[in-house]
Amino acid sequence: MTIQHIIESHLKEGFLKLYQIEIPSVEFQATRKEFEGDITVVIFPLLRYIKGNPAEIGEKLGNYLVENVAEINRFNVVKGFLNLVIDDRYFLQLFNSMFENSTYGFENPKENEKAIMVEYSSPNTNKPLHLGHVRNNLLGYAVAEIIKASGKKVYKTQIINDRGIHICKSMLAWKLFGNGETPESNGLKGDKLVGNYYVKFDQEYKKEISELISQGTSEEEAKKTAPLILEAQEMLRKWENSDEETVALWKKMNAWVYDGFAVTYQNLGVDFDALYYESDTYLLGKDVVAAGIEKGVFYKKEDGSVWCDLTEEGLDEKIVLRSDGTAVYMTQDIGTAIQRVKDLKDVGGMVYTVGNEQDYHFQVLFLILKKLGFDWSKNLFHLSYGMVDLPSGKMKSREGTVVDADDLMLEMTETAKTISEELGKLDGYSESEKNELYKTIGLGALKYFILKVDPKKRILFDPKSSVDFQGNTGPFIQYTYARIQSIIRKASFDYSLNLSDIELHEKEKELIKQMALFPETVQQAAHNYSPAIIANYTYELVKEFNSFYQNVSILGEENHQKKILRVQISKKVADIIKQSFSLLGINVPERM
């Protein structure tokens, strides 16, 4: 039972005894720094049950609590705020329970509880992953890990967009201009090679458009009739009709891309439990439409197209089948969602990590699935996020101006190397140890910079400022973790003793209170699908530790029991940093 529960229970009893009135709840807040106390009861809400002076009511309740609650030492009342001082023994017992729990803050999945599927990445197979994919992957992976830590089973998945006209553009450009080039023949990652041909298609297509315009064709007509786009459309038709040569080329080039993606995912530190491919799912959902017409969820127009009328819900009418019987993306997404629940029977909800330009699409998708009568539709969530911008401006993949994910990770490692060398703290490291450390710091900086921001907000990403060793950055937190490991290595005594009767320094108490917030922080982050809550909690914990480190002697403390306690507290702070960062997909170095 938490201290809040203990105090609330006794306050209700005290209020009933003093005023013969039952109160439903008690409002708490952290005690302000300028007043003595560990937790504050807000008296003002109680005035709706009893009229009187808030300070007098606070005095009476404070006296009652001191007399009846062993954990409360003393109190003070400031206007309508009852500030309570908690006994050190409570905090020591609280700390001992944390210290002995190796999975503190993490819950195990509950039996028979439905699993959550988290979808992220979902790239096109015509280009490498870029900066936008980096935010998508980091968010999706972190949210999956946080939900898992909150006590739910999680499946990580992606749907790979491996078909369509954009894929055919890369295929056609390679066929026309590639001269048999392969990743092996030129040493390029497969996804980069294919991406180059996507850019090549656009360059040649623009030339054809310009030529047609110079011959008197309108720009709109030129875009439709340029030979390359007509040939790409023909290639798509051949693929849809299972033309042997086209399918073989499609398989070959997609395999190159998958090999390239695998390297990027490994370097980024993300993984998946289940993969879906659009080439398998693009026909899903058509049978659902037929059933939906019978239920009255969909209706057919005179031209044969099928629609869903969502005007009563404040949306518009949405097409789900074209007049020629072909499906649209919405149909496919309906079918894929249903298929996933068929494939994994314990899935009871899904999180879609997709940019905010698709907000309306997911509103419609979730509403249609609800109308179709799927109970799990109430557990669908669109993890909508803003774009990532660079100081240089917007990215366009078809023009080859995207920020490649691999290049970005390499740049982050190089930036970490430059800054670390300037600080000159790497004496005694081998070259391989240095390189591993640069990668840990660089990727930690990138991930933390992106994840500390609320997902809905747009980000202006500055690589250099993200690798700052001061302030709310990944390297600052990593450095604190490494500092604690140095303390632990020097503590050559048994620090596993159970300590229960020591007078706590104020800084020790503040750290214990901050650590005590970790379990509810994990739950809050899972509930809000927000890694930013974990990131910013960790920063606050690290700030609190650094204040403790600067104000309290740890290894220099003469009292042996106090020294052991301070090393224990330091170790637990480090454990929580490591756990928090594991949820964000960030590694922590043992030395820096």
Q: What is the pLDDT of residue 395?
A: 40
C-alpha to C-alpha distances, 397 to 189, 225, 257, 363, nearest whole angstrom? 17, 23, 15, 27
CA dihedral 289, 349, 266, 464 (to 10 degrees): 110
What's the domain count of the chain?
3
Average pLDDT (410-436) is 86
Q: Is residue 63 part of a domain?
A: yes
Count the Cβ atoms, other than its own, within 10 Å of residue 416.
25
Q: What is the pLDDT of residue 426?
A: 77
Sorting pLDDT into bands at 50, 70 and 90, what band is 450?
very high
Sorting pLDDT into bands at 50, 70 and 90, what band is 400?
very low
Q: Is residue 244 part of a domain?
A: yes
| Alpha-carbon gap, residue 520 to 510, rounded angstroms | 17
Task: Give the lowest-confidence range in 10-19, 187-196, 500-509, 580-589.
Answer: 500-509
| Alpha-carbon gap, residue 474 to 347, rounded angstroms | 34
Which structure tokens are listed for 574?
């480090």
| Buried-exposed string 73-95: b where 16+ CB fall within 10 A, e elsewhere | eebbbbebbbbbbbbbebbbebb
- Asked whether residue 393 carries a pLDDT value surpassing 60, the answer given is no
Instruction: Assess whether 82 and 168 both reside in one domain.
Output: no
How many Cα atoms are found within 13 Å in the side-chain-facing hemisphere of 122?
A: 18
Report which of residues 531 and 499 the model is more confident about: 531
Identify which of 390, 392, 404 has the alpha carbon closest to the alpha carbon of residue 449: 390
pLDDT tens, position by position, 338-347:
999 999 999 9
Mean pLDDT over the full length of the chain: 93
Q: Is residue 448 part of a domain?
A: yes
Using the 3D structure, point to which of 273, 307, 339 is the last residue of a domain.
273
Instruction: Assess whether 446 and 549 both reside in one domain.
Output: yes
Q: What is the DSSP string of 137-148?
A: HHHHHHHHHHHH
Q: What is the pLDDT of residue 319?
A: 96
Strand stretches in 448-564, DSSP E: 459-460
- Asked whether residue 181 carries a pLDDT value surpassing 60, the answer given is yes
Q: Is residue 499 part of a domain?
A: yes
pLDDT tens, position by position, 126-169:
999 998 899 999 999 999 999 999 999 999 999 999 999 999 99
Strand stretches in 161-301, DSSP E: 274-277, 299-300
| Alpha-carbon gap, residue 230 to 238, rounded angstroms | 12
Phi, psi for residue 147 in degrees, rounded to 5: -60, -40
C-alpha to C-alpha distances, 18 to 12, 49, 55, 169, 254, nearest whole angstrom? 10, 12, 15, 79, 75
Sorting pLDDT into bands at 50, 70 and 90, what band is 499?
low
Phi, psi for residue 170 in degrees, rounded to 5: -65, -45
pLDDT tens, position by position, 273-316:
999 999 999 889 999 999 999 999 999 999 999 999 999 999 99
Q: Is residue 480 part of a domain?
A: yes
Report which of residues 496 and 238 the model is more confident about: 238
| Alpha-carbon gap, residue 580 to 512, rounded angstroms | 16
Instruction: Assess whether 183 and 74 both reside in one domain.
Output: no
Instruction: Assess whether 79 and 182 both reside in one domain.
Output: no
Which residue type, as a one-letter code, is found at position 335? G
Instruction: Assess whether 437 and 578 both reside in one domain.
Output: yes
Instruction: Assess whether 53 and 188 both reside in one domain.
Output: no
Q: Provide the residue range defining the domain that includes 176.
A: 164-273
- CATH code, 432: 1.10.730.10
Collapse the DSSP code of 308 into the 3-class scheme (helix H, G, I; strand E, B; otherwise coil) and give the result.
Answer: strand
Q: Is residue 282 part of a domain?
A: no
Q: What is the pLDDT of residue 147?
A: 98
- Asked whether residue 487 carries a pLDDT value surpassing 60, the answer given is yes
Sorting pLDDT into bands at 50, 70 and 90, what band is 496?
low
- CATH code, 66: 3.30.1360.70
Using the 3D structure, point to which of 273, 291, 320 is the last residue of a domain.
273
Residues 6+ apart with CB under 8 A from 459: 135, 386, 387, 388, 389, 449, 450, 453
Kind and range of the H or E run holding 324: none
Count the Cβ atoms, other than its own, within 10 Å of residue 165.
13
**242 burial level (CB within 10 Å; 0-12, 13-18, 19+):** exposed
Using the 3D structure, point to which of 60, 86, 112 is the last residue of a domain.
86
Average pLDDT (554-573) is 93
Instruction: Assess whether 68 and 193 both reside in one domain.
Output: no
Q: Is residue 296 part of a domain?
A: no
Q: Residue 469 in contact with residue 528, Cβ under 8 Å?
A: no
Instruction: Assess whether 451 and 574 both reside in one domain.
Output: yes
Sorting pLDDT into bands at 50, 70 and 90, what band is 396?
very low
Q: Is residue 124 part of a domain?
A: no
Instruction: Assess whether 171 and 54 both reside in one domain.
Output: no
Instruction: Look at strands 72-78 and 115-119 and give their pairing.
Output: unpaired
- Asked whether residue 32 carries a pLDDT value surpassing 70, the answer given is yes
Q: What is the largest CA-CA distance in the chain?
A: 96
